[in-house]
């Protein structure tokens, strides 16, 4: 597929807009970039002169750095705008900020924010490409793409697999984005969590099985995606998760749901474990499992994140060529 056809619009706001063949093409492109990334000369200069602006309104280590490294490896210039020092903190609207950046003729805006509709509102009012780097509890397209790439590398397919997503799904844009992507490939998806971490949309989601019991939910799984308990995020859609008091329930959550070398035996022998990071060590997953390369894909995901973001930038910014 020519890269010009991967995206239907100039922006990447959600995986929903991508076709299975577009996703497969992005994985192939990213695999090629990951080979290049392992060379001592990592730069490819085919996007020289393009400008990418990173605007992160929520904390981030890996996604922000990953987008910056990805753009620089493609020869682009990158500008990071610290929100606290931007005019948004003086009361400027995001639309005025977007118009200002457009007037500087930037090529892409990478945005992370709490407000779910903001990236698409900006995209509709901006000439530059807009890429969501995480919006609210629903959208994190590049995380889902890099997770798919990681699963594909180890399992050779996305179809016919059993994937269990475990933990704080109620507040997780990673879970929602992964489900939307994997459902395009007919993956068998289970959710494993206590009731206070499951919100109504999962009950309504077609084809997603829900388990309260960890071992039952991960039984015969090929892939387990564990999630961070996101205590900084209050939930909009479920009062059950809002009621979660970390201090009070932590012990029972850890006892019943922490993934470790013992309970993982319920899954397939060659199961792989993903986690989007940052990890709460010994809360959702045991420290020894995080560091066990037989299972843990966590650092592979980080490595793949750079290659996948290179693929996304290359395909989106290459649309005009």
Residues facing residue 137 across a β-bridge:
none
Residue 5 Cα to chain centre, angstroms? 22
Number of residues that bind ligand ASP (CB under 6 A): 8
67 phi/psi in degrees, rounded to 5: -65, -40
- Find the shortest distance in angstroms from Cβ 265 to ligand ASP: 26
Measured from the CB atom, is 64 or 73 closer to ligand ASP? 64
Scan for tokens 């992005």, then name that residue: 26
Distance between CA atoms of 71 and 306, rounded to whole angstroms?
A: 9
Residue with the CB atom nearest ligand ASP in the bound state: 228
DSSP, collapsed to helix, strand or coil, labels residue 302 as helix
- Find the shortest distance in angstroms from Cβ 321 to ligand ASP: 31
For 34, the token pair is: 């990951």
- Find the shortest distance in angstroms from Cβ 133 to ligand ASP: 8
140 interacts with ligand ASP by CB under 6 A: yes
134 interacts with ligand ASP by CB under 6 A: yes
- Find the shortest distance in angstroms from Cβ 174 to ligand ASP: 5
Of positions 12, 98, 108, 174, contacts ligand ASP by CB under 6 A:
174
- Find the shortest distance in angstroms from Cβ 44 to ligand ASP: 27
Of positions 22, 167, 276, 305, contacts ligand ASP by CB under 6 A:
276
Could you tell me if 129 and 317 are in contact, meaning their C-beta atoms sit under 8 angstroms apart?
yes
Measured from the CB atom, is 73 or 176 closer to ligand ASP? 176
DSSP string over 224-268: EEE----TT---SS-HHHHT--HHHHHHHHHHHH-B-TTGGGGS-
228 interacts with ligand ASP by CB under 6 A: yes
230 interacts with ligand ASP by CB under 6 A: yes
Total Cβ atoms within 10 A of residue 183: 16
Binding site for ligand ASP (CB under 6 A): 134, 140, 173-174, 228, 230, 276-277
């Amino acid at each position: 597929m020519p890269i010009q056809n991967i995206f239907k619009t100039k922006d990447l706001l959600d995986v929903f807009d991508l076709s299975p063949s577009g996703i497969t093409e992005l994985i192939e492109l990213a695999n090629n970039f990951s080979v290049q990334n392992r060379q001592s000369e990592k730069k490819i200069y085919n996007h020289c002169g393009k400008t990418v602006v990173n605007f992160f309104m929520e904390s981030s280590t890996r996604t922000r750095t990953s987008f910056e490294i990805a753009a620089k490896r493609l020869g682009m210039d990158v500008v990071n705008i610290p929100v606290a020092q931007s005019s948004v903190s003086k009361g400027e609207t995001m639309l005025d900020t977007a118009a200002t950046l457009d007037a500087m003729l930037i090529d892409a805006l990478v945005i992370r924010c709490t407000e779910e509709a903001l990236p698409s509102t900006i995209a509709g009012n901006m000439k530059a490409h807009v890429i969501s780097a995480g919006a609210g509890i629903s959208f994190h397209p590049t995380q889902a793409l890099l997770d798919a790439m990681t699963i594909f590398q180890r399992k050779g397919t996305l179809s016919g697999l059993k994937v269990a997503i475990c933990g704080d799904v109620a507040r997780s844009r990673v879970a929602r984005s992964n489900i939307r992507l994997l459902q395009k490939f007919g993956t068998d998806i289970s959710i494993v969590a206590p009731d206070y971490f499951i919100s109504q949309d999962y009950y309504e989601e077609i084809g997603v099985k829900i388990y309260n019991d960890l071992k039952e939910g991960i039984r015969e799984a090929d892939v387990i995606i564990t999630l961070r308990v996101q205590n900084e995020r209050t939930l909009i859609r479920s009062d059950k998760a809002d009621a979660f008091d970390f201090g009070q329930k932590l012990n029972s959550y850890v006892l019943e749901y922490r993934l470790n070398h013992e309970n993982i035996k319920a899954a397939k022998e060659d199961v792989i474990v993903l986690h989007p990071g940052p990890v709460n060590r010994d809360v959702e997953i045991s420290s020894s499992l995080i560091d066990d390369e037989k299972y843990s894909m966590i650092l592979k995901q980080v490595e793949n994140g750079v290659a996948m973001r290179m693929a996304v930038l290359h395909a989106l910014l290459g649309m005009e060529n």
